[in-house]
Structure 1
Amino acid sequence: MPGGPRALHGGGLERSLADDRPRALIQMATGAGKTYAAVTSSYRLLAHAKAHRILFLVDRNNLGRQAGEEFATYVTAGDGRKFTELYNVEPLTAAGLRGSTHVVISTVQRLYAMLRGRPVPDPDVDDRAFDADTSGDGSGDWSGDGDDEPIDIAYSADIPPETFDLIIVDECHRSIYGRWRAVLEYFDAYLVGLTATPVKQTFGFFHQNLVSEYTYPQAVADGVNVDFDVYRIRTELTRHGATIEAGITVPRRDRRTRQQRYEELDDDFSWTPEQLGRSVVSPNQIELVLRTFKDRLFTEIFPGRTHVPKTLIFAKDDNHAEDIVMKVREVFGQGNEFATKITYSVRDTDSLLKAFRNSAELRIVVTVDMIATGTDVRPLECLLFLRNPRSAVLFEQMKGRGSRTIDGDDFQAVTPDSSVKNRFVLVDAVGVLESERAEAAPLAQHTEKQISLDKLLRKTGTLTIDADEVCTLASRLARLNQQITPDERAELEQLAGAPLTAVVSSLARCADTARRAGPGAQRALVEDAGGRAKKAT
C-alpha cells in the first residue's frame, strides 16, 4: 500500500520518537491506509525499538474488530510471518490486560470504564453508549455522569500510567477527545494521532507536530484511492424548502420509540432546504429521490451498467433509515437480501457488513453513523446523501467511504457487470454540496463532456494547459492506469521514462503547488508537469 509505509518511513514519525517528542500527528487521506500505517509502525517499534505494549484507540467498537483483522493479516518484513504469529493482539475486555498482550484495541469509553472500575461490555457486542457519537445527539458521549463536562481520572492499580509505551489514536480529529483528554493524558506514553481531517484543536493537541501528510489528490494519483464524480438530484423541496400552513395536522415521531403522534400546527411552519434531511423528513421526497435515482442509474449515473452498484445511503436517524430501506425495497421491487440497514438497532451487524463487502446479492445499505466513518467496504461505488451532515469534517469522512480501491477479480465477483472500480459517485439529494460546510472537490475538475482526454493531451503538448486541467488530466490518467494491460503500462513507462503512477503524482503535485503559488508562478509549474505527461503521450 503506497500511502501507509511512505507515510511512516518517508515521513517523520520515527524521527519524532527518536527526538523524544511526546506527540505526533499523521494526516492521511481517508482510505489511504491509516490502519495499515499504524500496524506497520507497531511492528517496527515492537521488533526494533523494544516497545512492550501499544494501545490502539478507535472511535467505534466495530472499527476495533476491523483493526484487529488488519493486524491479523499483516505480513511482517523479514521472515514473512503474520503480525499475530509474533505478537498478541487483543481487544480490551472485562478480564483486564494479560501480561503477554502486546497490542490492545479499545474505544476510549471502554478504557475509561475500566479505569473507573465499571463494567466493560463484551468486545463482540456493539453498544452505542461506548462508541464515539457522530450523529449529533450526544448519545455516544458516555461517562456515566449524565453530562458533557470533561471527565476526571484517578489512579488505577490495574492499569497504571506506565501500562503502554505508545498510544495510537485513530480518527483523532473527533471533538470527543476534548472531553476524554484526561484518559489520554493519564498514561505516560507517546501519543500518535491518525486522521484525514484534522481541525485546529487536533493540531493544538498534538503540539503542531505534523510528521506526515498524505492528501487525497496524492492518494488518487498513486492509485491508493479512486476519484469521484458528483451527481445532483434536485427537487422543489431541495431548492426552496416549504411552508406548512397553520391548522394543518402533521406527524411528529419520537426518534427513540418510533411512536408517531399527530398534532395541529398553531402557526405556519416554514423550513429551509438546509433543514431537509436534518430536522425535517419528507416521505414523498424520499420516494421521489429514490425513483429518480433508479430511473437514471444506468443512463446517467453509471451509464451502460446493468447491476445496481454497491450503494450506501446516509440517513439522519434510525427511524429515517427504516423509512428509507422500506422505500428502497418498494421502488426496486426487491427484498431484504437486496437492501437493508446497518445501525445500532440491528443485530449481527458483522454478518451484514460481511455480506455488503462480499455478497453479490446485497446491493444497498442504509446507515446513520455506524458505518458512516472508518468502515471499509471496498466494492462501494455510490454514496447517496439523504442526510445533511452537520460539519465539514463529518462530510469528508462520509465521502471517504467510497474512495477505497479493490482488486479487479474481487470487485467483479460482487459486481458482475464491471471489471474495475476506477471511481465512485457522490449523489447529493439534500443540497449537501450547497452548504458552506461541505467541500467536495474531486481531483478531476472537468467531465468528459466538458473536455476530452485527447484535448487535454493536445493542450499538454502545446503547454497551454492550466492548473485545473492538469488536475483533470491526472485523474483521467489515474483511471486509465487501472484499465490498461501490463504490456501497455510498460510501453508508457518506457516512453515517459517513469511509471505512469509517477507521472500522475507529478501532475497532481504540480497542480496543487501552482494553485497555492498564484497565477504568476503557475506557468512554470504547469510546464514542468506537462513535460513529463508529454513524453508519455
Structure 2
Amino acid sequence: MSNIRNQNPEQIARDKIDEMLKLSGWLVQSKKKVDLSAGKGVAVREYQTDVGPADYVLFVNRKPVGIIEAKREDEGHRLTVVEEQSSNYANAKLKYLNNDPLPFVYESTGTITRFTDYRDPKPRGRNVFSFHKPETIADWLKKGDSLRKRLLSIPALDVTGLRPAQIVAVNNLEHSFKKNRPKALIQMATGAGKTFTAATFVYRLLKHADAKRILFLVDTKNLGEQAEQEFMTFQPNDDNRKFTELYNVQRLSSSYIASDSQVCISTIQRLYSILKGEELDESAELENPNENSWLQNKMSKNKAVPVEYTPKVPIEQFDFIVIDEAHRSIYNLWKQVLDYFDAFLIGLTATPDKRTFGFFNENVVSQYTYEESVTDGVNVPYDVYTIETDISQNGAMIESGWFVDRRDKLTRKKRWQQEDEDTDYKRNDLDKKVVNPSQIRNIIREYKKALKTTIYPNRIDENGDYEVPKTLVFAKTDSHADDIIKIIREEFDEGNDFCKKVTYKIEEDPKSVLNRFRNSYYPRIAVTVDMIATGTDVKPLEVLLFMRDVKSINYFEQMKGRGTRTINSDSLQLVTKTAKTKTHFVIVDAVGATKSKKTDSRPLERKPSVPMKDLLGAVTMGVADEDLFLSLANRLIRLEKQITSTEKDRLLEFSGGKNLKQITKELITAFDQDEIETKAQIEIDKIPVHDQTPALIEEAKKKAQEQLILEASKTFNGELNGYLDNVRKQHEQIIDSVNIDTVTKSEWESTSVDKATEIVKDFTAYLEANKDEIKALSIFYNQPYNRRDITFKMIKDVMEKLQLEKPLLAPDYVWDAYVTLSGVEGSQKPKDQLTVLVSLIRRACGIDSELKAYDKTIENNFKTWIFKQNAGQHNRFSQEQLDWLRMIKDHVVSSYHIEIDDLEYTPFDAKGGKGKMHQLFGNQMNEIIKELNEVLAA
C-alpha cells in the first residue's frame, strides 16, 4: 500500500490499466522489450509514432489494431476532451511500420474507460467497463464491417403474421439501432406479445446483423422458462424451421455459458452470481427481486452491488441485452451488472415508471397501451364487480370471556384460549392480527351467487350444473391462501381438484398445477400470493378475485394483466365448455384494491415454517446458521415494532441490558462480510506484513466471525427466550369464529355501468354511421318491411366489418352491456354470435323495444303463426306438414332466410327435397315459404 501512496497519479493510472489489460488477456510490454510473438494480444507502452509516443499501442496477431490514451484518475471527466488527441495517435504512422489508421481507440484512467470503434458509420465514443479481449478484436477484424455498420443493412421487415403494434416496435427499435442509441424501451401492453416481438427482432439481429450472442434477461425462473418456450415455438417468416433449429438457445442453470450459444436466457440474479464467482441460492430465482428475501439481504448491506472484471465472462460476451419486465427496479440495485457489458440494452415492459424512462435515456421506441390493445382487439377489456361485507369494511369486536383459537401466523399451530380483554379490530387487521372465517366465507358465498346471477350467468352444462369460469384469487399470505381454499371447496361443494394453491411453497410441483390450471378442466379456481401475479399466461382466465390489496401501482397493473389475454373460442371451450367467446374479463374486488393508494413493502423471511420458540432455542444451543440468524433477526425486528414501552423495559432484565435493536444488529452482523473483515483486519494489522499469508488472513476472518456469532448467541437464555415467546403470543392471529359477517354490497362498479353505457352508445353510433353502406343495416333501418330478404351472407358481412373496424364491439360484449344497463338478465343470450348480432341490431334500430334473443323471437313468431293457422282452419296442417314447417323454421333460425332452392340441401334433401314439399303443400308451397320468411322475421 505504501508504494502506491508514493506513486504519482499518472503511474497509478498506468498500473491500473496494466492490470485491466492483463485480466482481459493482453500481454503488457515495454517498448524496449517488444515481442509481438509472445501472445495473440500485445499492448506496448510508449510506442513511438510520427506525432509522438502513444501511451499504449495494441497489437493482435502481430498487427497494430488500436491505441490507449492513459490519463490520471482526476481527469476522468475530461476523457471526451482527449478524443481528438487519441484519434491523432490512431491516425499516425507507427515507427518502423507503414500502417493504416488504427480502428480501435480507448481513453482510460484505470477507473473510467471510453472506447471508439472508428469502423462505425458515425464513430461515437462510449463508456466500457474494461478492455475487449484480443480474440474479440481478431473476430471483429475478420468480420470486416463493425456491428453498428452491419445494423444499417438490415432489410425491411416482412410483416406477415405480426400485429400492427409489433411491426411499429420492431421497425422503431431497428431505427434506434441504426442511430446507435445504446438503450431503447419498448412499452407494450400485457398480452400484446412482447416476447414474440423480442423473438422477431432477436432473429433479425442474428441473421441480418450477424450478432454474436444475445442475452434475454429476466428476474424469475418462471419467466425464463416462458421465454425459452417462446423461442422454441417461434418460426420466422423466411424459413420453415423453428428458431431453435437455426440458433442455439441456452437457458442458464449454472455459471457455464456455452461458447456456441447465440441466445442466452438468464435471471439477473444468476448473472450477478456468475460475475461474482458465487454459488447461486436457488430460491433467489423464484420471486422477482423486489419481492425476494435473498435480494433483500443483499440490499440490506446498503451498498451498490460490487462487480469486478471476470475473464470467463468478458464485457463483449453479449452484443444485445433484452431486459424483460424492465419496469422493475432491477436497474437500481443491479445497474453495475448491466453496465458491465458492452451491449445495446432493450427494455420490455407493460408498465414503465419514471425510473424506467430515465434508465433508458427516455428513448421509448414504441408505446402500446392497454387501452390501445383493447381497441385493436389484441386484449380484452374488463369490468369491476364489487363485493363488500360489514366486517370487511368496519372490523368487529372480540369480547373478553369468549373462547377463541389463536394461531401462529407462520406455522399455523393453534391453541385454545379464553380472552381476558376486549379486542377491537379494524379492516386492516383482517388476515394479519385477526382471521374471521365468516368474512372469507361470505365473500366466497356471494361470489358464487353473483357468478350465477350477474357476472357470468347462462353457464349451465349438459348436466344442468353451473360451470365456474376459470378464476384466479389473489391472497394476502400463504396462510390466507390456505383459509380461502378450504372455504372455496366447502362453499362450492367441490373436492381438492376444484381449487388449488399455486405458490412456490406448495408440496406439489407448482408448474404442474399451473399447467393444469391453464390447459385442463380442473382446477377451476387457483389461489396465489405472488407466483402468477406477473408475466404468466393463463389465457382462459375470466375472473380475477382480489382478496388482498396491492401496494404497488405497477404490480397491480401486472396482476390485472393476467386476465387480459385473448383466446380463440375453440381453445377456451376446451377448458370451459359453456363459454362461447372471451369478450372481457371481470375483476371481483372484495378489498377495495381498485380504489386504494399504493406503496411497496415486503419483509425478509428465510425460515417461515419454524416457530420462533425453536429459532430461539437453536441460537441458544449454539447452532450457527446464516438463515437461522437472519430469520430470527427478522422476527425480532417485527416484534420490536409491536411491543409496548413497558414490555421493552421488562425485556432488558433478561437480556443483560440489550434492547431488541441491539440484539438484532448482532444477529445480522455475525454474517456480514464487511463487519467480519473489519474485525479481522484489526488482528491482521498486528502481524508483520511479510507474515501475512493468505491462509493466515482466512484464519483471522474465521476467528472474527466465530467471535461475532458468540457475541450474538450468548445473549439468549431460557428466561429471555420464554419472555420473547410469551410477549410474542400477544401478536398471534386471533381466529374470530364468533362474529358472523353479512354482505352489504354486491354490484357492478359504477365505472362498469359507465362503460356499458359507452359501449351501447358506440354500438348504436356505429350502426347509424353504416346504415346506408351495409345492405343488411340499410334494410333494418330504412326498409324494415324487407327484413324477410336478409340473408346469412348479409349478416356475416356486418359481423366481418364490425370485427375489422370495431373489435371492442364484439356482440357478446355489447349484449352484456345492455344487460348491465337494464339491471336484469332478460332473455338468454343466443349461442350463435351472428344471432346475437341480429338481436342487437333489432334492439338498436328500434324493432324490439327491449333486448330479445332473435332465435327466441323466431320461435315465438312461429308458434303465433301456427296458432292463427289452426284457429282459422281447425288443424290446417297434418303432422307431416308440421314437421316440414318446423324444419323451415329451424333453417331460418340459423340462416335468417329461406329460398326454394335451399330445399335441395341439408336437412331437406334427406326428406325428399323440393319435390316432397310440393307433394305435401301443392301450389301453396311458394306462398308458405314467402309467408314464413315474412312472419318469422317480424
| TM-score tier (shorter) | 0.7 to 0.9
Corresponding letter in the other structure for 2:526: V
Greater Rg by CA: 2
Q: Choose which of 480, 484, 501 in structure 1 pairs with 2:804.
A: 501
For residue 27 of structure 1, what is the aligned residue in structure 2? 187
| Compared CA separation, residues 285 and 128, structure 1 to 2 (3 A) | farther
Q: Describe the superposition over 1:369-416 as per-residue Cα deviations: whole angstroms up to 9, x where unpaired.
A: 111111001111110001111111111110000000112111111110
| Compared CA separation, residues 105 and 142, structure 1 to 2 (3 A) | farther
For residue 302 of structure 1, what is the aligned residue in structure 2? 456
Question: 1:17 and 1:492 mapped to 2: Cα distance?
Answer: 41
Q: Describe the superposition over 1:451-479 as per-residue Cα deviations: whole angstroms up to 9, x where unpaired.
A: 7737851598489xxxxxxxxxxxxxxxx
For residue 83 of structure 1, what is the aligned residue in structure 2? 243
Q: CA deviation at 1:359?
A: 0.5
| Compared CA separation, residues 23 and 290, structure 1 to 2 (3 A) | same
5 Å matches for 1:343-422? 343-346=503-506, 347-422=508-583
For residue 453 of structure 1, what is the aligned residue in structure 2? 760
Question: 1:297 and 1:236 mapped to 2: Cα distance?
Answer: 21
Q: CA deviation at 1:360?
A: 1.1
SS at 1:436's partner residue? coil
Question: 2:459 and 2:393 mapped to 1: Cα distance?
Answer: 30
For residue 661 of structure 2, what is the aligned residue in structure 1? none
Whether the 8 Å contact between 1:93 and 1:120 is mirrored in structure 2 is: no
5 Å matches for 1:131-150? 131-133=287-289, 135=291, 138-139=292-293, 141=295, 147=301, 149-150=303-304
SS at 2:754's partner residue? coil
Question: 1:175 and 1:265 mapped to 2: Cα distance?
Answer: 45
Bigger shift: residues 453-462 or 21-30:
453-462
Q: Choose which of 173, 179, 184 in structure 1 pairs with 2:333.
A: 179
For residue 42 of structure 1, what is the aligned residue in structure 2? 202
Q: CA deviation at 1:170?
A: 0.9
Bigger shift: residues 37-46 or 259-268:
259-268
Corresponding letter in the other structure for 1:70: E
5 Å matches for 1:63-102? 63-94=223-254, 96-102=256-262
Corresponding letter in the other structure for 2:543: C
| Compared CA separation, residues 446 and 266, structure 1 to 2 (3 A) | same
SS at 2:277's partner residue? coil
Q: Is residue 233 from structure 1 mapped to residue 387 from structure 2 by the alignment?
A: yes
Question: 1:383 and 1:108 mapped to 2: Cα distance?
Answer: 29
| Aligned-CA RMSD value | 3.4
| Compared CA separation, residues 298 and 444, structure 1 to 2 (3 A) | closer
Q: CA deviation at 1:75?
A: 1.0
| Compared CA separation, residues 300 and 277, structure 1 to 2 (3 A) | farther
Question: 2:342 and 2:443 mapped to 1: Cα distance?
Answer: 52
Q: Between the two proteins, what is the percent identity of the paired residues?
A: 46
Q: CA deviation at 1:363?
A: 0.5
Structure 1: unaligned runs, 5 residues or longer = 464-484, 507-536
Q: Describe the superposition over 1:297-328 as per-residue Cα deviations: whole angstroms up to 9, x where unpaired.
A: 11111111131111100011111111211221
Corresponding letter in the other structure for 2:804: T
Corresponding letter in the other structure for 1:410: S
Question: 1:9 and 1:442 mapped to 2: Cα distance?
Answer: 39
Corresponding letter in the other structure for 1:39: A
Whether the 8 Å contact between 1:129 and 1:141 is mirrored in structure 2 is: no
For residue 332 of structure 1, what is the aligned residue in structure 2? 492
| Compared CA separation, residues 252 and 453, structure 1 to 2 (3 A) | same
Question: 1:253 and 1:148 mapped to 2: Cα distance?
Answer: 35
Question: 2:266 and 2:539 mapped to 1: Cα distance?
Answer: 24
Whether the 8 Å contact between 2:165 and 2:368 is mirrored in structure 1 is: no
For residue 119 of structure 1, what is the aligned residue in structure 2? 279
Bigger shift: residues 243-252 or 324-333:
243-252
For residue 167 of structure 2, what is the aligned residue in structure 1? 6
Whether the 8 Å contact between 1:7 and 1:214 is mirrored in structure 2 is: no
Question: 2:751 and 2:377 mapped to 1: Cα distance?
Answer: 12
Question: 1:51 and 1:372 mapped to 2: Cα distance?
Answer: 34
Question: 1:443 and 1:168 mapped to 2: Cα distance?
Answer: 37
Whether the 8 Å contact between 2:299 and 2:333 is mirrored in structure 1 is: no
Q: Choose which of 345, 348, 354 in structure 2 pairs with 1:191.
A: 345
Q: Choose which of 263, 268, 272 in structure 2 pairs with 1:103.
A: 263
Question: 1:259 and 1:154 mapped to 2: Cα distance?
Answer: 47
Question: 1:6 and 1:263 mapped to 2: Cα distance?
Answer: 65
| Compared CA separation, residues 486 and 85, structure 1 to 2 (3 A) | farther
Question: 1:397 and 1:441 mapped to 2: Cα distance?
Answer: 21
Question: 1:343 and 1:15 mapped to 2: Cα distance?
Answer: 41
Question: 2:807 and 2:794 mapped to 1: Cα distance?
Answer: 18
Question: 2:185 and 2:415 mapped to 1: Cα distance?
Answer: 49
| Compared CA separation, residues 59 and 502, structure 1 to 2 (3 A) | farther
For residue 528 of structure 1, what is the aligned residue in structure 2? none
5 Å matches for 1:152-301? 152-242=306-396, 253-260=407-414, 272-273=426-427, 276=430, 281-301=435-455
Q: CA deviation at 1:281?
A: 4.3
TM-score scaled by length of structure 2: 0.47
Q: CA deviation at 1:445?
A: 6.6
Whether the 8 Å contact between 1:54 and 1:165 is mirrored in structure 2 is: yes
| Compared CA separation, residues 18 and 395, structure 1 to 2 (3 A) | same
Question: 1:140 and 1:255 mapped to 2: Cα distance?
Answer: 21
Question: 2:455 and 2:297 mapped to 1: Cα distance?
Answer: 45
Structure 2: unaligned runs, 5 residues or longer = 1-161, 461-466, 600-747, 771-791, 810-844, 846-938
SS at 2:454's partner residue? helix
Question: 1:101 and 1:310 mapped to 2: Cα distance?
Answer: 39
